[in-house]
Amino acid sequence: MNEGTLRVAGATLFYRMRGSGPPLLLLPGGDGAADSTDGLSDQLVDRYTVVTYDRRGLSRSSIDAPGGGLTLATHSDDAHRLLAALITEPAFVFGSSIGALIGLDLVARHPEQVRVLVAHEPPAWELLPDAERERATLAVEDAENTFQREGVVAGFKKFVVLAAVDYADREPDAVLAPPTSQREANLSFFFTCDSSAVRYYRLDLSALKAASTRIVPACGRSAPESAPYRAAAALAVVLGKALADFPGGHTGWLLRPKAFAAKLREVLS
C-alpha cells in the first residue's frame, strides 16, 4: 500500500494506491471517501493497481478556503492531476453517482488519460424526459432543503429514497461505515457543496461521443424504475452504447462488493 498527498489548486488531496497490474481509479458516490471503497478494492487488488482518494472537502483532503463555487469541473481536474502525478499510462476508471459524472467530465476533457470508463448511474437528470427530470430535480432540492432545516440524517434519508437504496440488498459480510463525526462532516460538505454542483452540471455530449475512451454506461439491476437507473439508460441511448447491468442498486459497489467486482472485472476485460 502506498499513501500520500498531492497538492492541487486550492486543496490537498489524500490518495491511496494498492495492488498490482494496470491502474484502476475508483470514484465513489455521495460522501464516499477513499475508505468507502475498501470492500470493492479488496476484490480487485490482485489484478489492478487500485487508486482511491478523498474528494476535496472530504476526510483527509483539505480545502484552502472552504465555501461555495465548487463545480464538477473542479473535481474532474483533481482526478486529472492525480492520474498525471501517479500514473504513466491510460487508466481504467470506475465512477458511481457523482463519481460517474466526474469520470464523464474527465473523459470529455482528458480522454487520453482514460482507457475505459464505467459510469455507474450518473445523476444526469438532463437526459431524462421532462416529467422525470422535474421529479428528480425537485427531489434533490427537497433533500438539500431538508438538510438545511433538519440536519444531515434527515437530508440523507431523502437521497436514499430518490436513489431507491435498499440496505437489505447486500452481501452478508459487506461492511458499512459506522456513524461518526467525520461521516457527518462529509455528508454536510456533500449537501453544502457537491449536491448543488451536480444539479448545475451539464454533460459535454459532443466531447464524449468524440472521445477515444471506451465508455460503458452502467446500472444497478435491483431498482430499474429509479431515477439514477433511468439516467444511466438514457446516457446509453444518447451515446449509442450498451447498458451494463451490475448487481445491486445505486450503491451496489458498497453493498455487494464481491459480485460487483466480478462484474467490473468482466466489463473492463
**Tell me, what's the pLDDT at 155?**
97
**Tell me, what's the pLDDT at 226?**
98
Length reported for the chain: 269
**Tell me, what's the pLDDT at 25?**
98
Mind listing the domains of the chain with CATH numbers?
Answer: 2-268 (3.40.50.1820)
**Tell me, what's the pLDDT at 1?**
84
**Tell me, what's the pLDDT at 65?**
86
pLDDT lower than 50: segments of the chain: none
Alpha helices per DSSP H over 46-129: 72-86, 98-109
**Tell me, what's the pLDDT at 177?**
79
**Tell me, what's the pLDDT at 41?**
98
pTM for the predicted model, two decimal places: 0.97
Distances (CA, A) of 1 to 4, 15, 189, 211: 10, 11, 28, 32
